[in-house]
Amino acid sequence: MRVNILSIFPEFFDSPLRAGLMARAVEKGLLGFSLIDPRDFAQDRHRSVDDRPYGGGPGMVMTPGPLARALRSVPEPGRMLALTPRGRPLDQALARELSAQEALTLVCGRYEGLDERLFELFPLEPVSVGDFVLNGGEAAALCLVEAVARLLPEFMGHGDSGLEESFSEGLLEYPQYTRPEEFEGLRVPEVLTAGDHAGIAAWRRRRSLEATLRQRPELLSGARLDAADLGALKALRPAGLGRNLYLALVHGPVLNKFGEIVTVSLTNLDLHDISRVSRSYRLGGMYALTPLEDQRALAESLIGHWLEGAGGRANPDRAKALAQVRVMDCLDSAVNDLERVSGQRPRLVATSARPVESAVHAAPAEVRQWLESSPVLLVLGTGHGLAPEIVDRADAVLRPLRWMDAYNHLSVRSAASVIVDRLLGDVY
């Protein structure tokens, strides 16, 4: 593979590309590098490669001329990549994809970035190594080169080395140990010294699953898992953040289609479906709130059919879901009950199908942080949404699910499912 690197600091690469496995790969002819300085293609005596941005603002922008001439000087550029925070994330799948190329050309930006016209003139693919800002693209280019190079045949020396590392199967790697067998009172796990290869493989797999579940649970959805893995994950899975999340389904005060404050009737489907969401994601529980006494009696009757009557005997799973529902008259009652149960005053997070300009908005990631230390009561409205008096008392409001679209008319049952999954997803 030939790698062309465009950088105004080509000396940045002197040591990394001449050390360890990278140096051996160059010696064996597996890799070849060309370092190209855009300053060599500048056309003024100062060798300028940057200028002030149009429209004003801080910093400088790399001018298109020197970079365009530098790119056109490369005889076989192959796939062209620009290292930038706005690009496609560099992951193992992309590294594998790039390792099949005969040539790569990497453009290392500096200052405030590249003139946008370069992306229109050349097939430059933006690639990012993470959600953070570096001084330039050089360090990012090294990450990409190393991730790609170690996937080339013969680069690692041992054919299995690349296969057993983190992300090769969508999982983080298991812990590694070497001599001495005991160090400062800590011993190597006995299974690794017993000579039982099947036992070692099982231990490593379990520890890999455990590390992934604990540190990067989102990776599990794309990992290759068999029935034994799934069983192990169920045993390993902690109680999760869901235990601190509670749902409140408000039937009054809510809005009708004319914007009037009303109380609407309970529906059997809402109780069933939202309680099943609560049970599936192992939430703390659910409150069905209505100020109407006859509606509370109806709810209790419906729930009783499943908990104590024939419904529960016929469908125990449905009974487990509805057992999480508490029927109360108002939001204050639910807040007080939750404080009694958890020992903490819950944070209130309201939901709305319409933008609430006066509200403090919270992103799902922020709510997840709250769940790590305190209970959160997620307030859902029936009818045409929560009354302003409910929204105004919330600590924060989640953005509408389809906030960039004009049509945003999901049922409260559907909305509850989507919102809970966005809040908890792979971490419940």
Nearest to 271 by CA among 253, 288, 289, 247: 288
Q: Are 268 and 311 in contact (CB under 8 A)?
A: no
| 43 phi/psi in degrees, rounded to 5 | -120, 20
The Cα 395–Cα 307 span in angstroms is 34
The Cα 256–Cα 381 span in angstroms is 11
Q: Are 26 and 17 in contact (CB under 8 A)?
A: yes
Q: What is the CA radius of gyration of the chain?
A: 29
Q: Are 127 and 144 in contact (CB under 8 A)?
A: yes
Alpha-carbon dihedral sign for residues 38, 43, 48, 54:
negative
Per-residue tokens: 172: 């983080």
C-alpha distances out from residue 182 to 178, 186, 187, 191, 203, Å: 10, 5, 4, 14, 19
Per residue in 332-369, pLDDT (tens digit) is 999 999 999 999 999 999 999 988 888 899 999 999 99
Does residue 180 have a cis peptide bond before it, meaning omega lies within 30 degrees of 0?
A: yes
Residue with tokens 């509670």: 246
- 79 in helix, strand or coil? strand
The Cα 135–Cα 110 span in angstroms is 7
Q: What residues contact 393, with CB distance under 8 A and at least 6 apart?
A: 331, 348
The Cα 216–Cα 381 span in angstroms is 33
Host H or E run for residue 183: strand 182-183
Q: What is the pLDDT along the chain (428 residues), one digit of tens a residue?
A: 999 999 999 999 999 999 999 999 999 999 999 999 999 999 999 999 999 999 999 999 999 999 999 999 999 999 999 999 999 999 999 999 999 999 999 999 999 999 999 999 999 999 999 999 999 999 999 999 999 999 999 998 765 555 545 565 789 999 999 999 999 999 999 999 999 999 999 999 999 999 998 888 888 888 999 999 999 988 887 767 789 999 999 999 999 999 999 999 999 999 999 999 999 999 999 999 999 999 999 999 999 999 998 888 999 999 999 999 999 999 999 999 999 999 999 999 999 998 888 889 999 999 999 999 999 999 999 999 999 999 999 999 999 999 888 898 899 999 999 999 999 986 54
Per residue in 25-65, pLDDT (tens digit) is 999 999 999 999 999 999 999 999 999 999 999 999 999 99
